Amino acid sequence: MNKKVVKRGLLPYLFLIIIIMAVFYFFNVMNQKVNVLTYDEFMKDMKNGNVSELVVVPKERAQLYEVTGKLDGYQDNETFFVRMPLSDEVMKKLVEANEEIDFSFDVKADPESSSLLLILVNVVPLLILVGAAFFLFSRQVGGANKSMDFGKSKAKLNTDKNKVTFQDVAGLKEEKEEVKELIDFLKNPKKFQKLGARIPKGVLLFGPPGTGKTLLARAVAGEANVPFYYISGSDFVELFVGVGASRVRDMFGQAKRNAPCLIFIDEIDAVGRQRGTGLGGGHDEREQTLNQLLTEMDGFGENEGIIIIAATNRPDVLDPALLRPGRFDRQVTVNLPDVKGREEILAVHARNKVLAKGVTLENLAKRTPGFSGADLENLLNEAALLAVRRNKDAITMSEVDEATDRVLMGPAKTSKKYSDNDRKLVAYHEAGHAVIGLKLNNANDVQKVTIIPRGSAGGYNMMIPSEEKLCATKTDLLEEITGLLGGRASEEITFKEITTGAHNDFEKATKIARAMVTEYGMSDLGPMQLEQKSGDVFLGRDYNKSRNFSNEVAHEIDTEMRKIIDSCYKQAKEILNENKKLLKLIAETLLEYETLTKEQIDYLVEHGQMPSEDEENNLERMSLTKLKEMAKEKGIKGYSKMNKAELVKELDK
C-alpha cells in the first residue's frame, strides 16, 4: 500500500478528532459557572464553615495565590475563584481552617515553573491551529493549481520495464519495414544528416480496429530505446476554449527538452477531423487545437529528433492539412493479416498456452479469415478459459471450435428451447446454405453447420474461402449471393412457405448486388461508378451517399439489382431441386446431431450416413484434406502431391 495514500487518508480524520475534542472542551467550559469572590467574602465563608473543596495554585511571578473550589449549596457545574496575597500567613490560615472544618484541600505546583508544561499549555494549541490553517490553505492552493493546470499536457511518459519489441509484433512484416527507418534515425541521426536526408516528421498508422497499430508504435519506441510519450486525441479537447492548444504547446515543449523521442497520439481523428464541418462555435475548441497541432508540426526544425506516430481507424475524416508533406509524411496501412500473418500472430499469443497435439496453428489460421490480431488473441484466450472450465490439461480442437463460435456469434443458448417445427425450419434453412456451398465450384468451403442458436441467429453455417483472394470476380460475387439465398430457397421448396429467418441473408445479398451495379460496374449499365460515399463529414461520411445519376438511372439501378437477385435465387432453387436427397440428408442429420463439421459433411456426402467412431479413425474413410493435414503433422515429405491411396499407405507405416 502506498504510504502517501495512507497519510493523506489519515490527516483529515486526525483534524476531525481534534476539532471534535475542541468543541467538547468549549461546551464544557461554557457550561461551567464561576463565582468570583473577594478576599473578604472568601474569608467570611471559610470562618462560617461553608467551604467544601479548595484548590490552591501559587503564582510566584504575580505574588498571588489563585484559589478555586466549592461552597456548600453549590451545584455540580458551579465553582468560585479568588485571588489572595502570596504569603506564609495566608497559607497558615488556610491550613488551620482545613484542620477545623476538614474540607478537601489541595495545593498544586505553579505550571509556569515547568518549561515542558508551559510549552504544552501555550505552544501546542498554537501549533495545532497553525497546522490546521496550513492544511486548509494547501488544499485551497492545490485546487487552484489544478484549475491552473488545464493547459499542461496530459501526455504520459512510458516507463514500462517490459518494453515491447518487434518480436512481439507478428504478421506486420511490410509495416515493420516501413518504420525501421525511424528507429535508425533515432539511434544514429548523423547517418541521415550526412546525405541530407530528411526523416519523416510524422507517421500515420491507419487500418481496421485490432490490427496492431498501437502495438507497432510501442515496438518502435522499444526498439529505439528512447522516451515514448503517449496520449489520446480526446485528451486535448476540454470545456474551455484554448486549453487544447495550450496542451499541444506544452507537449511539444516537453518533447523538445527530451529529444530524440517519440510522441504517439492514439485516435487522432478525435482532434484532427476536417475543419469547417460544424455549425456555429461548437467546434472552436477542437479546431483551435488542430490549428496549434499543425503549427507545431510545421515549426519543427529539420532532424530535431522528434517523431510523431498517430493512429486512427478513420483516415477519411482527417483534415487534409494533417496529411500534407512536412507533417504526416508517411502513411502506413495496417490491414487485416493474411493466413501467414495469422499463423505468426497465433504463435505469439500461444507462447503461454498449452495446446493439445491435434491443434495446429496452421489449420487454425486457415479457419479464421478476416480475424484481426485482437480477435486471434481473444480466440485463444476464450479457448483457454473453456479448457479450464472443462478441467482439461490442454486446449483441444473442441475448445478452439467453441471459442471461434463464441467470437463470431456469441455463446450458445443451449437452455433456450425451440419447438420441433422451428428446429426443422432452421435445419432445412442451414442445410440449404450447405448444399449450395457444396455444389458451386467457386463458393466458399463449408466448415461447420449447426442449428444451436447463438446470438440472434437460430443457427449458422460457417463457410470460408478455399483460398484468400485480393480481388473478387463477378462469378465469385454471384455465387456468394446464391449461397446467401440458399436458406430461403430451401424453406420455399421444402415447406411451401417462407419465414423471417433469412432477413440477415437478404441484407448481405442486397448490399453486394447494389455494389456490383453502382460501384463495380458489373451490370448492363456498364463500367460506371454511379454511387460513392459522400464527402460531407458533418454527420460522418457513411450517413449519406452522393448520387451522380438521374431518377431514370435510379430506376435502372433497381432493375439491375432485381435481375441479379432474381437470377441468383432461381439458380439456388434449381440446385436444391436437383439435390433434394442431399438437402434432406443434411437437414435430418442436423436434427439428430445439431452440429456437423467439415469432415462429417464430406463423409455424409460420400457415404450417405454419419461415420461411426471406428470409421472416423479409419484412414480410408477420411477425406483427402484431412489426410494431408495428418501427413503434415507427422512430417511426411511430398504429401501435397500424393493421392489418397498414397497418403493412406504412408500414414499406415
3-state secondary structure of 230: strand
User: Residues 442-493: pLDDT tens digits?
Assistant: 666 777 888 877 766 777 777 777 667 778 888 888 988 998 899 999 999 9
- 430 catalytically annotated: yes
Residue 613: its pLDDT value, please? 53
Q: Is residue 191 very low, low, confident or very high in pLDDT (cuts 50, 70, 90)?
A: confident
User: Residues 281-296: pLDDT tens digits?
Assistant: 445 677 777 777 787 7
Q: Cell triple for residue 370? A: 478476416
How far is CA 268 from each of CA 254, 282, 336, 376, 427, rounded to the nearest angstrom? Answer: 19, 19, 20, 25, 47
What is the C-alpha separation between 129 and 570, in angstroms, rounded? 92
Other C-beta atoms closer than 10 Å to the C-beta of 62 total 12
Q: Where are the alpha helices (DSSP H) in 48-123?
A: 88-101, 115-122
Best CA proximity match to 199, nearest among 175, 178, 218: 178
Q: Where are the alpha helices (DSSP H) in 519-550?
A: none
Greater confidence (59 vs 349) lies with 349
3-state secondary structure of 299: coil
Check if the beta carbon of residue 403 is closer than 8 Å to that of residue 386.
yes
Greater confidence (298 vs 515) lies with 515
How far is CA 118 from each of CA 18, 68, 125, 544, rounded to the nearest angstrom? Answer: 20, 20, 11, 84
Give the DSSP H or E segment for 7.
helix 3-31
Give the DSSP H or E segment for 434.
helix 420-439
3-state secondary structure of 391: coil
User: Residues 533-579: pLDDT tens digits?
Assistant: 544 444 444 444 556 677 888 889 899 999 999 999 999 999 999 99
643 DSSP assignment: -
Strand locations in 31-174 (E): 33-36, 51-59, 64-71, 78-85, 104-107, 156-157
User: Residues 124-182: pLDDT tens digits?
Assistant: 677 777 777 676 666 655 444 444 454 565 556 665 656 778 888 888 888 888 888 77
The mean-pLDDT minimum among 108-117, 187-196, 371-380 falls in 108-117
Residue 7: its pLDDT value, please? 46
3-state secondary structure of 101: helix
Residue 348: its pLDDT value, please? 87
User: Residues 12-39: pLDDT tens digits?
Assistant: 667 677 777 766 666 565 566 777 788 7
What is the C-alpha separation between 174 and 30, in angstroms, rounded? 84
What is the C-alpha separation between 112 and 132, in angstroms, rounded? 27
Residue 563: its pLDDT value, please? 94
Residue 525 CB contacts under 8 Å (≥ 6 apart), including other chains: 517, 553, 556, 557, 560
Rounded (5°) CA angle 409-400-168: 100
Amino acid at 314: R
User: Residues 399-418: pLDDT tens digits?
Assistant: 888 888 787 777 766 666 67
Residue 568: its pLDDT value, please? 93
Query: Which member of 430, 491, 531, 650 is catalytic?
Result: 430
Greater confidence (44 vs 414) lies with 44
- Quick check: 73 pLDDT over 80? no
Sole residue written with cell 495545532: 128
Q: Is residue 116 very low, low, confident or very high in pLDDT (cuts 50, 70, 90)?
A: low
Q: What mean pLDDT is predicted for residues 242-263?
A: 77
Other C-beta atoms closer than 10 Å to the C-beta of 461 total 23
